[in-house]
């Protein structure tokens, strides 16, 4: 067992709240990336359905 765990006055580096370890600033970035990926997946699905409909029904008569 490490000695740091036995000393209640010694803080772990992640408990200090340093900017480079902050989950608050990273949470918005992660959420934004998730939303952008979700929109990309939805747009891909819509375009795929549209392409299938156009191919099956020959809407543009070519």
22-59 pLDDT tens trace: 556 677 888 899 999 999 999 999 999 999 999 898 87
Task: State residue 60's pLDDT score.
Answer: 76
Q: How far apart are CA 22 and CA 29, in angstroms?
A: 12
- Residue 19's contacts (CB-CB under 8 Å, 6 or more residues apart) are 25
Count the domains in the chain.
1
Tokens of 14: 């992640």
Task: State residue 22's pLDDT score.
Answer: 54
Residue 59 domain-assigned (yes or no): yes
pTM equals 0.54
Residue 24 domain-assigned (yes or no): no
Task: State residue 4's pLDDT score.
Answer: 53
Q: What is the CA radius of gyration of the chain?
A: 25
Domain extent for 54 = 34-62
Residue 52 domain-assigned (yes or no): yes
Residue 56 domain-assigned (yes or no): yes
Task: State residue 15's pLDDT score.
Answer: 59
Residue 4 domain-assigned (yes or no): no
Distances (CA, A) of 7 to 13, 14, 15, 16, 17: 14, 16, 14, 15, 19
Higher-confidence residue of 10 and 38: namely: 38
């Amino acid at each position: 067992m490490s000695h740091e765990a036995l000393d209640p006055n010694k803080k772990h580096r992640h408990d200090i709240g340093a900017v480079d370890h902050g989950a608050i600033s990273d949470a918005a970035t992660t959420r934004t990336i998730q939303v952008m990926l979700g929109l990309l997946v939805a747009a891909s699905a819509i375009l795929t359905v549209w392409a299938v409909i156009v191919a099956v029904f020959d809407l543009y008569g070519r």
